[in-house]
Amino acid sequence: MSLVISNGLVIDPANNLSGICDVLIEDGKIKEISTALQGDKVLDATGLVVCPGLVDIHCHFREPGFESKETIASGSRSAARGGFTTVVTMANTNPPIDNAGLVELVIRRAREEACIHVCPAACATKDLKGSEITEMADLKAAGAVAVTDDGRDISSSSVMRHALDYAGMVGLPFLSHSEDEALTAGGAMNEGYCATLMGLPGIPKVAEDIRTDRNIRLAEIANAHIHIQHVSTAASVEIIRQAKKRGAKVTAESAPHYFSLTDEATLNFNTNAKMNPPLREKEDVEAIIEGFKDGTLDCIATDHAPHTQTEKRVEFEVAPFGIIGLETSLALTITHLVNPGHVSLEKAVALLSPGGARVCNLNAGTLTPGVSADIAIFDPQEKWTVLSEEFASKSCNSPFVGATLQGRVRYTLCKGTVVYSAS
Residues annotated catalytic, as ranges: 303
Cα three-residue angle 270-275-280, rounded to 5 degrees: 90
Q: For residue 343, count other CB atoms closer than 10 A to its CB.
A: 18
Burial 27-50 (b: 16+ CB within 10 A, else e): eebbbebeeebebeeebebeebbb
Measuring CA to CA, which residue among 380, 379, 378 is closest to residue 413? Answer: 378
Please, which residues bridge with residue 384 across strands? 405
- Quick check: helix, strand or coil at residue 378? strand
Contacts of 322 (CB under 8 A, 6+ apart): 60, 274, 275, 276, 303, 305, 306, 307, 397
- 208 in Cβ contact with 277 (< 8 Å): yes
Residue spans of beta strands (DSSP E) within 272-416: 299-300, 375-385, 404-414
- 230 in Cβ contact with 259 (< 8 Å): no
Which helix H or strand E contains 354, and what residues bound it?
helix 354-359
- Which DSSP category does 53 fall into? P
Within a 13 Å sphere around the CA of 273, how many CA atoms are in the beta-carbon half?
20
Burial degree of 264 (CB within 10 A; 0-12, 13-18, 19+): middle
d(CA 125, CA 133): 4
**Per-residue CA distances from 388 to 219, 311, 396 (Å):** 41, 16, 6
d(CA 85, CA 412): 7
**Which amino acid is present at 50?**
V
Measuring CA to CA, which residue among 166, 267, 180 is closest to residue 215? Answer: 180
